[in-house]
Amino acid sequence: MSIDQLAETALAMVAPGKGIIAIDESNATCAKRFESVGIPNTEENRRAYREMLLTTPNLSQYISGAILFDETLRQKTKDGVPFAEVMRKNGIIPGIKVDKGPQPLAGFPGEVCTEGLDGLRERLKEYASLGARFAKWRAVITIGEDSPSGTCIEANSHALARYAALCQEAGIVPMVEPEIIMDGDHDIDTCMEVTEVVLRSLFGALYDQNVMLEGTILKASMVISGKSCPEQASVEEVAEMTVRCLKSAVPAILPGIVFLSGGQSDEDATAHLNAMNQMGPHPWPLSFSYGRAMQAAALKIWSKDLVGNVAAAQQTVFARAKDNGLAAQGKWKK
């Protein structure tokens, strides 16, 4: 796939008023979500739940793409239609999570580096043949008394850049996700300092690996107070500091930025995105790639009756997509 085709896909992912739904939970994470609502974590239940999400009527009005787990990309609807085909017909771009998750960083207790580069070239070829047009790799950065270390930031930036280069070689748009974890008692100023350092390191690594930014999407954390910080920043402060941080570290040539919800409440994630877009215009579209903030309410409804509540659960999915689609244009009202 040419750079023009990669760029076209990347721009479609951040089309005005549209964002990405993240349904790429591993089976272990799915088990926790299902356990919270009393649902057995079987392959059929996972398939049925994902079918409910992906077949939500008119979802493509506000959703441009969906990040899938390996299992999900291979699954079909109850009528035997592959999910990737259903998505294409409904105007939703199939994506795939390709990292193998964070592992302890040797020599740096408490810090992690995401693994999954071994065999990635072959996996990407297969995913492309199954219909995936973009991929996602998540790095995990924790703020603590002595962290993150420069080594942790550099190791994760390098892995993200190698992954991105391999994606583009396979004709797949890379979504790079350096997540700054909300856990901790750090204030918003500390979060901003760490986020800026991480983003500068990431884009330096992408440049070193000849990654074409025109065909790349950033999935970013918001600059926000730690969960345990006694002084929580306001919606306006989060929006202002996040935009300032991005403008200082992210090249304008990037097609777009989507935010992760990262443990925020549904409403906070939407309110922060809306406030940022009301401050625009910005060098790039600012949109969303939410998981729990898109699904949590729908899962509770769906779990009560796996058949009878599908329509009600889908209405909730659509409502959340609409709220965030409006927030991506600065038009959401509480």
Whether residue 88 contacts residue 130, with contact meaning beta carbons closer than 8 Å, is answered with no
Residue 100 known to be catalytic? no
Nearest to 202 by CA among 266, 241, 254, 125: 254
- Measured CA to CA, the distance from residue 333 to residue 31 in angstroms comes to 34
Residue 154 known to be catalytic? no
Query: Locate tokens 């009528």: which residue?
Result: 79
Burial 198-227 (b: 16+ CB within 10 A, else e): bbebbbebbeebebbbebbbbbbbbbbbbe
Whether residue 147 contacts residue 192, with contact meaning beta carbons closer than 8 Å, is answered with no
Q: Which of 51, 219, 304, 322 is catalytic?
A: 219
H helices, E strands: number in the chain:
12, 10
Q: What is the DSSP letter of 185?
A: S
Q: Which of 177, 196, 214, 237 is catalytic?
A: 177
Bridge-based pairing of strands 112-114 and 217-220 is unpaired
With 0-12 / 13-18 / 19 or more C-beta atoms within 10 angstroms meaning exposed / middle / buried, residue 281 is exposed
119: region left, alpha or beta (phi > 0 left; psi from -120 to 50 alpha): left
Catalytic residue positions, numbered? 177, 219
